[in-house]
Amino acid sequence: MLRVLREFRMPELPDLTIYIESLQPRVVGRTLEHARIASPFILRTVEPNIRESEGKKVMGLHRIGKRIVFELENDLFLVIHLMIAGRFHWKKPKASVPKKVGHAAFDFPTGTLLLTEASTKKRASLHLVRGRSSLAQFDRGGLEVLDSSLEEFAGALAKENHTVKRALTDPRLFSAIGNAYSDEILHRARLSPLKLTRQLTEEEIGRLHAATTSTLREWIERLRAETGRDFPEKVTAFRKEMAVHGRYGKPCPVCGAKVQRIVYAENECNYCPRCQTEGKLLSDRSLARLLKEDWPKTVDELESLETKRTAGSIVP
C-alpha cells in the first residue's frame, strides 16, 4: 500500500480542471448509452438505480471540491470521487474494463470513459443522485481559492488555528488543494508548513494568498499545454518541474539546499529549510526517535554531517 501511495496522489484542483476540460468536448451534449459497473465497491447509492442514467444526455460538468459531477438529463447527477489512486481513461467505444483495476465504464457514441483504481483499498466512489439540492451533501464548504479575495482567504485561514499545511489541505477551509500543491504553495510563499495560521502576519497572509493563486493557475496552464487535445493519461503529483514536492534530497531550485521532508501517516510534507524555515530542520518523529541526540537541528549541521560522512569520518 505504501508503494501505491508513493506512486499516486489524489488529483487536486489543477488535475481535476484538466480532466473536466478534456471531458467536455467528448461527453457534453452526448448520450450516456451504458453505465457498466464492474466493481461492487464503487457504487455507493442504490436509488436512483444506475440504469436510470443510461439513455440520458450529459448537460454539463463541474467540480465540487475534489469530486467531478456529470449533469444528466432528468435532473440526475453522477458524482465521482477518484480518491488517491482513481483515474479516468478515454478509450475507443465499448472498450473492455480492465480486470484487476477497472471499476466502471461509461459508454458514449464516440468513446468509452473508464474509471480505474490502482489500489487494493477501494476508496474511489460513484454516487447517482436526483435533484440539484442532493449535491449539497458532497460540498465540504471549502473556499474556491481562484475565485476568492484576499479578505475571504484570510477569513478561511482564521476559522481554526491549524498549521498552515493542514489548513491548506482541509476541505472545510479550502477546496481541492491537497498534499502536492500545498507543498509547492508554501515553498513559493516562503513559509514553514508548521507555522500556525493565527500566527501569520498580514504580510504573510498576503504572500500566501498570492502564492496559492499563482501556483494553481501556473499548473493549470502547464497541464493544459501538456495535454493539448489529448486526454490526460498521466495524472500524477510527482513532476520533475515541481520545486519541493516529491523531491526529497534534491536541490531547491531557488537556493540549492537539499529538500527535506516530514513523514506522517500516509503522507509526507516536503520543504526547503533555507527558503521556508530559516535554516531549521523540522523534526521528523520517526527519524528523531531513531537518531535521538544526533538529530541535526539546522540545515548547516546536516550538511556538515553529510560532508564528514562523505569524507569517511562518520560510519553511515
Q: Which of 87, 90, 121, 120 is nearest to 106 (CA)?
A: 90
**Shared domain check, 121 and 29:** yes
Residues 6+ apart with CB under 8 A from 39: 102, 103, 104, 122
221 assigned to some structural domain: yes
Domain boundary at 206, 227, 248, which? 227
Tell whether pTM > 0.85: yes
244 in a structural domain? no
* Residue-level pLDDT at 182: 97
* Domain total in the chain: 3
Q: In whole angstroms, what is the distance from residue 301 CA to residue 298 CA? A: 5
Largest CA distance in the chain: 74
| Same structural domain, 18 and 43 | yes
> Which element (helix H / strand E) includes 53?
none
pLDDT at 292: 45
The strand order across the sheet containing 31-32 reads 31-32, 56-64, 67-72, 76-81, 125-130
Q: Determine, yes or no, domain membership for 238.
A: no
pLDDT tens digits, one per residue of 255-305: 999 999 998 766 789 999 999 999 999 976 554 444 444 444 565 555 554
Answer yes or no: do 129 and 169 share one domain.
Answer: no
- For 261, other C-beta atoms within 10 Å of its C-beta total 20
Within this chain, do residues 212 and 287 fall inside the same structural domain, yes or no?
no
Residue 246 maps to a domain: no
Whether 220 and 200 share a structural domain:
yes
Q: For position 298, what pLDDT does the model report?
A: 63
Last residue of a domain, one of 138, 169, 196: 138
The answer on 265 and 154 residing in a single domain is no
Q: Considering 112, 138, 164, which residue would you say is the last residue of a domain?
A: 138
Residue 233 lies in a domain: no
- Residue 230's pLDDT is 97
Cβ partners under 8 Å of residue 188, min gap 6: 211, 214, 215, 243
What is the gyration radius of the CA atoms in the chain, in angstroms?
Answer: 22
| Same domain (yes/no): 118, 6 | yes
- Any idea how long the chain is? 316
Separation CA 10–CA 180 (nearest Å): 9
Domain hosting 278: range is 260-311
Residue 302 lies in a domain: yes
Q: What is the pLDDT of residue 119?
A: 85
Q: What CATH code is carried by the domain that includes residue 73?
A: 3.20.190.10
Query: Do residues 8 and 93 share a domain?
Result: yes
3-state secondary structure 155-220: HHHCCCCCEHHHHHHCCCCECCCCHHHHHHHHHHHCCCCCCEHHHCCHHHHHHHHHHHHHHHHHHH
**16 and 71 both lie in a single domain:** yes
Domain assignment present for residue 255? The answer is no
Per-10-residue mean pLDDT for the chain, 316 residues long? 55 97 98 96 96 98 98 98 96 96 97 94 95 98 97 97 96 97 98 96 98 98 96 88 95 97 83 96 60 51 51 44
State whether 155 and 133 are in the same domain.
no
Same domain? 288 vs 162: no
Residues 109 and 157 in one domain: no
pLDDT of residue 301: 54
List the CATH number of the domain containing 212.
1.10.8.50
Question: What pLDDT shows up at residue 276?
Answer: 98
Task: For residues 6 and 227, give the distance between their C-alpha atoms in angstroms, rounded to a whole number.
Answer: 23
Asked if residue 251 is part of any domain, the answer here is no
